[in-house]
Chain A
Amino acid sequence: TQLLEQSPQFLSIQEGENLTVYCNSSSVFSSLQWYRQEPGEGPVLLVTVVTGGEVKKLKRLTFQFGDARKDSSLHITAAQPGDTGLYLCAGARGTGKLIFGQGTTLQVKP
């Protein structure tokens, strides 16, 4: 069974702090997506990383794909209350079937 382990599962921080969410697997993925989901809504795609070692930035969010394409991280700089939500990573192996992690719930307090 392909598994994506996300950590931490829950994170509560103050506004302005930095944080990193990790997504790890023993399997190699052809690409990896990060999604953000707010309560009562569906996941919204933030970024797709494809190349080992790739780094992508989206404003205060930095996404990195591991060199071996087995892991990824999401770093948020100076977190804002608007960053609150459930962050999901999903790995793909070219079959059209995404393997999702269990998610990281982030709460940013003003």
Chain B
Amino acid sequence: ETGVTQTPRHLVMGMTNKKSLKCEQHLGHNAMYWYKQSAKKPLELMFVYSLEERVENNSVPSRFSPECPNSSHLFLHLHTLQPEDSALYLCASSQDWPDNEQFFGPGTRLTVL
């Protein structure tokens, strides 16, 4: 695997479910990001981790819970989501933080019923 990978690519869940999104970067980077991309809206930064420490939390509801066990892996744990949380969730990484050149994964298309 090369670059940034994300699983699953598609996820449909009910509002009472608990699920997790996974991201893995194979670039040797030290910083990882979660973004939300909704239709007709700019990408919204959710969380930033640098050297496994959370350095940015962009007023994200607590039903989204990130986890960064090491510099290569990033998770987004989801529970009791709302239909308006349906979106493309993108993971990105960069060599260091702050670093403006970010490399994105393919995203997870999430649908909340």
In the assembled complex, how far is the CB of residue B101 from the closest CB belonging to chain A, in whole angstroms? 6
Residue contact B48 to A102, C-beta cutoff 8 Å: no
Q: For chain B, give the interface size range.
A: 20 to 34
Query: Which A1-22 residues sit within 8 Å CB-CB of chain B?
Result: 4
Q: Choose the segment among A55-63, A76-84, A89-97 that binds chain B (4+ C-beta atoms closer than 8 Å).
A: A89-97
Separation in Å of the A7 CB from the closest CB of chain B?
14
**Chain B residues with CB under 8 A of A96:** 31, 48, 55-56, 94, 97-100
Which residues on B sit within 8 Å (CB–CB) of A95?
Answer: 98
**Please, which residues of chain B bring their CB within 8 A of the CB of A92?**
98, 100
Chain A residues with CB below 8 A from B102, complex form:
45, 98
10 pairs, A vs B, C-beta closer than 8 Å: A30-B100, A33-B100, A40-B106, A41-B107, A42-B90, A43-B104, A90-B43, A94-B98, A96-B99, A100-B43
Of the four ranges (under 10, 10 to 19, 20 to 34, 35 or more), the interface on chain A belongs to 20 to 34
Question: A97 to B90, Cβ gap below 8 A?
Answer: no
Q: Measured between C-beta atoms, what is the minimum distance from A65 to chain B in Å?
A: 13
Name the A residues within 8 Å of B92 (CB-CB).
42
A contact residues around B97 at 8 Å (CB): 96
A28 to B100, CA, bound (A): 15
Task: Collect the chain A residues with CB atoms within 8 Å of residue B31's CB.
Answer: 96
Segment 27-50 of A: residues with Cβ below 8 Å from B? 30-31, 33, 35, 40-45, 48
Q: Is A103 an interface residue (CB 8 A)?
A: yes
Contact A101 B42 (CB under 8 A): yes
Which residue in chain A gives the minimum CB-CB distance to B48? A96
- The answer to the question of A106 belonging to the interface, with a C-beta cut-off of 8 Å to chain B, is no
Which residue of A is nearest B103, CB measured? A45
Quick one: closest B residue to A102, CB to CB? B42
